[in-house]
Amino acid sequence: MAASTKLADELVTHVPNLRAFARSLVRDPSRADDLVQETVLKAWSNLERFEVGTNMRAWLFTILRNTFYSEFRKTRREVEDVDGQHAALVSEKPAHDGTLEMRDFERFFAVLPADQREALTLVGASGVSYEEAAEICGCAVGTIKSRVSRARLRLTEMMETGNLTDEEAEKFGHEVTLEEAMK
Amino acid sequence: MADGKQYEQGNGQTESDQGAEDAIAQNLKRVFDQVASEPIPDQLQSLLDQLKSSGGK
């Protein structure tokens, strides 16, 4: 079946982007990869439903996102309002070779609500248009725009004020306080 | 780092906000691209190999 072999090959090429998108929803790398794995399996078993000629990346992002909200999140006991905070607090992996600023950014990003993280990642990093993002997230374009702008506003605030408490900063295991990092 | 200076140097609210906007955009892309350019972890890779070798079902 040459056609579906082609589709399978195409699917594989999207995996790096899927991993990056997953990481914006699930901060822990191995759990994010579990989500990708589940997404790939689902996509694979529904490959015949994919309309050839349409955007496979958007299709895969949609599956990943639906999987995250419908199953993954529940089974992982991630709760809507606090999952960002939780993710940030439990995350103590050392930054790869990232700058301090980058680690700060990731922490700030992690405390945003999931709907804002995904909107921001989709349009701000993955190269998806507002229209595609709206389709992927099953909402209006205006909703994506407002999520993105709220996320940017909040991030800007956090970057300017570094408003995490000392206690939080301690839990992150960083020796340098955010105030110092901002100087 | 270099990005940090953008909001540090912004005296006016607008400049500062603009600097932060740029920093946000840069960081978003950097984080995304960093993950996307990582090698696929073994477990996931072997799943993909399996799927591919099953020849599109």
Could A105 and B1 be called an inter-chain contact, meaning their C-beta atoms sit closer than 8 Å? no
Q: What is the pLDDT of residues A119-153, one digit of tens each?
A: 999 999 999 999 999 999 999 999 999 999 999 99
- Report the pLDDT averaged over residues A5-34: 92
Query: How far is CA A7 from its chain centroid?
Result: 25
Parse chain A into domains and list their residue ranges: 1-78, 79-183
Could A105 and B31 be called an inter-chain contact, meaning their C-beta atoms sit closer than 8 Å? yes
Regarding the domain delimited by A1-78, which CATH topology (the fold level of the hierarchy) does it fall under? Rna Polymerase Sigma Factor; Chain: A (1.10.1740)
Query: How far is CA A73 from its chain centroid?
Result: 13
b (16+ CB within 10 A) / e for A132-159? bbbbbbeeeeeebeebbebbbebbbebb
Q: What one-character DSSP code corresponds to residue A72?
A: I
Q: Which of B32, B42, B54 to mutate to test the interface with A (most CBs of A within 10 A)?
A: B32
Average pLDDT, chain A: 78
Q: Is the pLDDT of residue A93 over 50?
A: no
Predicted pLDDT of residue A164: 58
Regarding the domain delimited by A79-183, which CATH topology (the fold level of the hierarchy) does it fall under? Arc Repressor Mutant, subunit A (1.10.10)
Confidence of residue B28 (pLDDT cuts 50, 70, 90): very high
Select from A5, A15, A37 the Cβ nearest to the Cβ of B56.
Answer: A5
B55 chain-A contacts, CB cut-off 8 A:
1, 5, 8
Q: How many residues does chain B have?
A: 57
Confidence of residue A101 (pLDDT cuts 50, 70, 90): low
Alpha-carbon distance of A28 to A34, in angstroms, equals 10
Predicted pLDDT of residue A94: 39
